[in-house]
Amino acid sequence: MRRPLVAGNWKMHGTCASIKLLLNELATQVLPAEVDVAVFPGLVYLQAVGAQVAQSDIVVGAQDCAVQLEEGALTGETSALQLADIGCSMVLVGHSERRQLQDETDSVICRKFIAAQAAGLTPVLCVGETLAEREAGQALAVVQRQIDAVLVELGVDVFAKAVIAYEPVWAIGSGLTATPEQAQDIHAQIRAHIASHSAGVAQGLRILYGGSVKAANAAELFAQADIDGGLVGGASLNAKEFGAICRAAGN
Ligand SMILES: O=C(CO)COP(=O)(O)O
């Protein structure tokens, strides 16, 4: 039985004041004990958020890390070890916005995945196809290629301590959520692909859906057999919405 995970990716949103308020409001929400809840604030807010949620069960993750683990002359970069040092336990790798805007390649993302695990962080490997790729019938092939960049390179066992987030690019920030059937179809195929290497790893692997998840659509998405929670963007900036999404992942 997989424990659901609901993760809020705050992207480049928030200020000291607004984040404090958001967390204060989130503290008034009932979050189900059987659901893991994580928030991914911008880098400069990680420590403050960590301090504010320290007495709760909410864990904190970063949105990216450097490919290099060891300290060095890499201006502007932050290593996975540094993220672990300030109390992060998870890190997103390969979010589509970084693939597109920062030209991150599959091989760079694989190196970040390695760095994350070496530092003891759980990498959340984000995968997903563009609308053009879906319309060309390439959705599964694209997702499989993105996963294989890690799977073939490192072997299946690394997924025993990782999370995959399926985020179709066309559903991100667009209000166009994948239907539960569309999402379940890809999730099931991701799990089958992992299972072709190790049934045990596939069974335990949490696969999150991301892309316009809201309180109004979360329950039917999370009811799907292979959807183990969500990676939530915009709706995670509203405590009531996010709380309701977390509750939708509960029993
Ligand atoms: O990119 C996402 C989470 O990583 C999804 O963003 P939205 O929920 O705003 O569509």
- Of 91, 232, 238, the one to substitute when testing ligand 1's pocket (max ligand atoms within 8 A of C-beta) is 232
- Of 5, 6, 9, the one to substitute when testing ligand 1's pocket (max ligand atoms within 8 A of C-beta) is 9
pLDDT at 175: 86
- Higher-scoring residue by pLDDT: 224, 175: 224
Checking if the pLDDT of 1 tops 80, the result is no
pLDDT at 251: 78
Active site residue 181: no
Burial of 225 (0-12, 13-18, 19+ CB in 10 A): exposed
Give the distance (Å) from ligand 1 centre to CA of residue 9. Answer: 7
Helices (H), the chain: 16-27, 46-52, 80-85, 96-101, 106-118, 131-135, 139-154, 180-195, 199-204, 215-222, 239-248
Active site residue 167: yes
- ipTM score above 0.90: yes
What are 188-211's pLDDT values in tens digits? 999 999 999 999 999 999 999 999
- Give the chain's domains with CATH numbers: 5-248 (3.20.20.70)
What are 19-61's pLDDT values in tens digits? 999 999 999 999 999 999 999 999 999 999 999 999 999 999 9
> What is the number of the ligand 1 atom nearest to the C-alpha of 11?
4
| Encoded tokens for 19 | 């984040």
Checking if the pLDDT of 127 tops 80, the result is yes
Q: Which residue has the tokens 């308020």?
A: 21
pLDDT at 34: 97
What are 96-123's pLDDT values in tens digits? 999 999 999 999 999 999 999 999 999 9
What is the pTM for the complete model shown? 0.98
Residue 60, strand partner residues = 39
